Amino acid sequence: MTEKQENILNAALELFANEGYNATSTNKVAKAAGVSEGLIFRHFGNKEGLLAALLKVGEDRFKSLYADIVMESDPEKIIRKAILLPFQVPESEYTFWKLQFKLKWEMEVDGKEKTEPLLRVLKYAFEKLGYAEPEKEASLIVFIHEGMSGAILKGVPIDKQAFQTFLLEKYNV
Amino acid sequence: MTEKQENILNAALELFANEGYNATSTNKVAKAAGVSEGLIFRHFGNKEGLLAALLKVGEDRFKSLYADIVMESDPEKIIRKAILLPFQVPESEYTFWKLQFKLKWEMEVDGKEKTEPLLRVLKYAFEKLGYAEPEKEASLIVFIHEGMSGAILKGVPIDKQAFQTFLLEKYNV
Amino acid sequence: MTEKQENILNAALELFANEGYNATSTNKVAKAAGVSEGLIFRHFGNKEGLLAALLKVGEDRFKSLYADIVMESDPEKIIRKAILLPFQVPESEYTFWKLQFKLKWEMEVDGKEKTEPLLRVLKYAFEKLGYAEPEKEASLIVFIHEGMSGAILKGVPIDKQAFQTFLLEKYNV
Amino acid sequence: MTEKQENILNAALELFANEGYNATSTNKVAKAAGVSEGLIFRHFGNKEGLLAALLKVGEDRFKSLYADIVMESDPEKIIRKAILLPFQVPESEYTFWKLQFKLKWEMEVDGKEKTEPLLRVLKYAFEKLGYAEPEKEASLIVFIHEGMSGAILKGVPIDKQAFQTFLLEKYNV
DNA sequence: CATGAATGAGTCTTCATTCAT
DNA sequence: GATGAATGAAGACTCATTCAT
């Protein structure tokens, strides 16, 4: 991975996340990255390839985000960790996650399958704790994630610290 | 509003909602609507004008959705109605709402200010009911809305009836 | 068929025939035709479509060229007409025929099937006249056509009148 | 001539002959040859240089093809050898000759001057044999060559052995 | 000798928009 | 109101070529 390749990826991430994939021309990316337009195609084949490279780089972030929680067996800890999840994303990664959200809507990129493991482990936790509707409880957590993260990423001001505490108390974890 | 004008709006709604605003050319809209491309510009000025017309038509939907709830004074009824809100959108309007969600991400179209009145009235209701964190409770409801509606509009299969009951019971309303 | 459409076709014919299909950019065609580049695509879809339109227009020329000969039943007249064939192409059509030859080589465009009917009728004629190898005689005529026409179209100076007489006498027709 | 240089020449010959010079990118040549694109330019200067090298290598083939015939003085043997000419090209050289034909049309590469010596010697032969139109007879032979060779190189199935005999008998040589 | 990163000009094509009819 | 021809700018992508290593 040469320096220019990284410049391209960074520029593309920034632009795709903020202006949208379709609204960002490869020309704009090249200029922002300080490289010739052709280089994008030499390295990533085509515009979609550039996007794919971006998503591939980010796949690890998904995994490291979920890894800790999916391994857990104590139901209370599962729920606790699930709630903490969105709050642990460092602000430096916001651009990447904004891209994820944008793509879910701009293209019809998956999204559903990515939350599957989380749903499963949450359902298991709520079952263990004797909740009447564990599956729905799990979904609810995910919905809250989506709604809240979306708001944060779009720049809605939220006292994250306080909201985190609020949620943890609500679930007694 | 002539018939052709409506054809254009319908075609545009369908295409913008499903393929995205940027990914939809005026040419595609014209073909889907069965009119000449020029007519779009005669009626709506430019592509943005077409989008604006679409959003304007939908503004009533926002209002009629919120009207009933904002007028309410009984706190329990407010919460009940707020929860019911997303479930009362008829499926025939899903395309329109999908467009709303898409635009929130594809362009950076507001969204925040639209939920403001709902947030206010919910905060008031939770206060009345003695909740410790009325503002956060209100936000939470809105986050759930966003998360759930997003999932539904993207086609994730959900037993809406059951989920509605689940939420109502959770809030004892 | 508007005037500009014809300008495009004429310019394309000229350029494709003289510089080659691949070596001619749509930009060059547009400039030569005095139209915007986009118009080419509006009318012909893409560069290949432009070529196809050119070939379609020329298909009649093939037919009218062969029609007279294929209908003939007198063997001597068949051969006579076959020999005269290349000499009857008016110089105004040379560009079109040059394109045909060029395409046979630049792309791998048919060519074989187009001469089929001519081969058949010639074989029949030579049979009738008692030639020992009617099929080869027919092929020979076609080879002579190809070789001679190719030379003429590439600008090799030939006394066509004299050569025509020479050939007719050779076959006693 | 290193091995890689030969790889390049072979790949280029194959590609230029089958897909055309303009339609073949140096990138494609490099990949087919299993070398870096830069190497092509180090060795051959530019794309045209590569083509020139190809033609230079093939020049011997022209010479060895014509050498025997041009030296001949017996008119009947001249004609006999001329007729045999195209049939003596080994199939392994077809790709090279296909390139020759392609170039004659795709670029406006000579071809005329190359047949000059053959024309001269044939004219001489026909004169000696008392033909009325020795110059035209010579041209005719060349036209037949062109037409027949073209057909063969384009893959039209021909019984070469039989056709050769047919021609030799036609000229009583 | 050989590579592969890098470039700038150019290619085909699409797009929003205008305008005469 | 409505069409369809026409445009110019921009879009994604390709290509021959250069150069540092």
Q: Do residue D163 and residue D126 come from a single domain?
A: yes
Tens digit of pLDDT for each residue in D22-69? Answer: 999 999 999 999 999 999 999 999 999 999 999 998 888 888 888 889
DSSP C19-70: H-TTT--HHHHHHHHTS-HHHHHHHHSSHHHHHHHHHHHHHHHHHHHHHHHH
What CA–CA distance (Å, rounded) separates B170 from C5? 70
A121: tokens are 């482990």
Provide CB contacts within 8 A for D73, sequence distance 6+.
none
User: Given this model, what pLDDT does residue A138 score?
Assistant: 97
Q: Which residue is nearest to nucleotide F4 (CA to C1')?
A: B36
**D56 touching C (Cβ < 8 Å):** no
- Answer positive or negative: Cα dihedral of D161, D167, D172, D173: negative
Are residues D87 and D164 in contact, defined by beta-carbon separation less than 8 angstroms? yes
DSSP secondary structure of A36-88: -HHHHHHHHSSHHHHHHHHHHHHHHHHHHHHHHHHH---HHHHHHHHHHGGGG
CA distances from C154 to A90, C58, C78, C112, D97 (A): 71, 19, 27, 20, 18
Claim to verify: residue B70 and residue B21 sit in the same structural domain? no
pLDDT tens digits for range A80-98: 999 999 999 999 999 999 9
B58 versus C167: the higher-pLDDT residue is C167
Are C130 and C63 found together in one domain? yes
DSSP conformation class of C72: -
Which one, of A88, A50, A52, lies nearest residue A69 by Cα? A88
- Assess if residue B125 is contained within a domain: yes
Closest-CA distance of chain A to residue B73, Å: 26
Cβ partners under 8 Å of residue C107, min gap 6: C21, D20
pLDDT confidence tier of residue D100, bands split at 50, 70 and 90: very high
Mutation target for C interface from D106, D135, D159, D168: give the one with most C CBs within 10 A. Answer: D106
The CATH number of the domain where C3 resides is what? 1.10.10.60
User: Does chain D reach chain C with at least 3 CB pairs under 8 Å?
Assistant: yes
Among A20, A112, A136, select the one facing B166 at the smallest CB separation.
Answer: A136
**Given pLDDT bands bounded at 50, 70 and 90, which one contains residue D173?**
confident
My answer on whether D70 and D153 are in the same domain is: yes
Partner-chain residue, chosen from C111, C151, C154, that has the shortest CB–CB distance to D143: C151
Mark whether C67 and C27 lie in a shared domain: no
Q: Are residues C166 and C93 in the same domain?
A: yes
Q: Is residue A53 part of a domain?
A: no
Please choose, from the candidates B68, B54, B138, the residue with its C-alpha nearest in 3D space to the C-alpha of residue B100.
B54
DSSP 8-state class, residue B112:
H
Question: In this predicted model, what pLDDT tens digit does every residue of B86-109 receive, in sequence order?
Answer: 999 999 999 999 999 999 999 887
Of the candidates D83, D18, D99, D153, the residue with the CA atom closest to the CA atom of residue C112: D153
Q: How far is A52 from chain B (nearest CA, A)?
A: 18
Chain D contact set for C112 (CB, 8 A) = 151, 154, 156
* Percent of chain B whose pLDDT exceeds 70: 99
pLDDT score for A22? 96
Does the CB of B48 sit below 7 A from strand E? yes
Tokens at C68, concatenated: 């007279």
Residues D84 and D165 in one domain: yes
Contact D154/C at CB under 8 A = yes
Separation CA D6–CA D18 (nearest Å): 18
* C20, C102 contact by CB (below 8 A): yes
Q: What is the pLDDT of residue B63?
A: 85
- pLDDT band for position B115 (cuts 50, 70, 90): confident
Chains B and C touch, using 3 or more CB pairs below 8 Å: no
The closest of A164, A140, A165 to A152, measured between CA atoms, is A164
Asked if B33 and B69 sit in the same domain, the reply is no
- Residue A171 phi, psi (nearest 5): -100, 5
| Nucleic strand F under 7 Å from the C-beta of D18 | no
CB contact under 8 A, D142 and C140: no
Whose CA is closest to C147, among D136, D83, D102, D147?
D147
The number of angstroms, rounded, from the C-alpha of D83 to the middle of its chain's C-alpha atoms is 15
Q: Could you tell me if residue A88 is inside a domain?
A: yes
Q: Is 90 exceeded by the pLDDT of residue C115? A: no
Three-state DSSP state, C18:
helix
Q: Is C133 on the interface with D (CB under 8 A)?
A: yes
Q: Which of residues 45-84 of A touch strand F (CB under 7 A)?
A: 45-48
Identify whether C53 is part of a domain: no
Q: Give chain B's domain count.
A: 2
**How does pLDDT run across C36-86, given as a tens digit for each residue?**
999 999 999 999 999 999 999 888 888 888 888 989 999 999 999 999 999
Those residues whose C-beta lies under 8 Å from the C-beta of residue A159, and which sit 6 or more positions away, are none
Residue bearing tokens 């299993």: D34
Q: Is D51 a member of any domain?
A: no
pLDDT in tens, A116-173: 999 999 999 999 999 999 999 999 999 999 999 999 999 999 999 999 999 999 999 9
Residue B62 and residue B41 share a domain: no
Among candidates C49, C80, C56, C62, which has minimal Cα distance to C117? C62
Q: Which two tokens stand for residue D143?
A: 């036209």
Beta strands in chain D (DSSP E): none
Q: Does pLDDT of A6 surpass 80?
A: yes
CA distance C72 to C49: 36
pTM assigned to the model: 0.92
Whether residue C133 is contained in a domain is answered as: yes
**List of chains touching C (3+ CB pairs within 8 A):** D
Domain containing A157 equals 58-170
State whether the Cα torsion A49-A55-A60-A63 is positive or negative. negative
**Token digits for B64?**
């009629």
D106: Cβ–Cβ under 8 A, 6 or more apart, which residues? C20, C22, C23, C102, C105, C106, D20, D21, D22
The pLDDT value given to residue D6: 95
The answer to whether the Cβ–Cβ distance between A105 and B101 falls below 8 Å is yes
Inter-residue contact B144 to A167 (CB < 8 Å): no
Q: How many other CB atoms are found less than 10 A from the CB of residue A116?
A: 11
- Contact: C102, D107; criterion CB under 8 Å: no
Contact residues, chain C, for D140 at CB < 8 Å: 144, 166-167
Give chain D residues 42-101 with Cβ within 7 A of strand F: 42, 46-48
Q: What is the rounded CA–CA span in Å between residue B71 and residue B78? A: 9
* Residue C163 contacts D where some CB pair is shorter than 8 Å: yes
Residue B60's pLDDT is: 84
Q: Does C106 touch chain D (CB under 8 A)?
A: yes
Spacing of C-alpha C124 from chain mean position:
23
Q: Is residue B50 part of a domain?
A: no
Shared domain check, A104 and A40: no
Strand E contact nucleotides, protein CB < 7 Å: 1-20
Q: For residue D53, is it within any domain? A: no
Which residue's structure tokens are 């007519």? Answer: B39
Q: Do D155 and D88 share a structural domain?
A: yes
For residues A61 and A54, what is the distance between their CA atoms, to the nearest angstrom?
12
**Inter-chain contact B146–A147, Cβ cutoff 8 Å?**
yes
Residue C158 sits in the same domain as residue C86: yes
Q: Is the pLDDT of residue C138 over 90?
A: yes
